[in-house]
Amino acid sequence: MLGWAGWQALVIGTFAGFAMAAVYGGVLLAAHRATRTSQLPLGPFILLGALAAIAI
Low-confidence ranges of the chain (pLDDT < 70): none
Domain of 48, in residue numbers: 2-55
pTM for the full model?
Answer: 0.86
Please report the pLDDT score of residue 21 as a whole number: 97
Give dist(CA 52, CA 1) in Å, integer.
Answer: 12
Please report the pLDDT score of residue 3 as a whole number: 85
Please report the pLDDT score of residue 2 as a whole number: 84
Please report the pLDDT score of residue 14 as a whole number: 94
Task: Give tens-digit pLDDT for 29-39.
Answer: 999 999 999 99
Give dist(CA 32, CA 55) in Å, integer.
Answer: 33
- CA 38 to chain centroid, in Å, comes to 17
Where is 26: in which H helix or E strand? Answer: helix 7-30
**Angle at alpha carbon of residue 7, lines to 39 and 19, rounded to 5°:** 30
Structural domains of the chain, count: 1
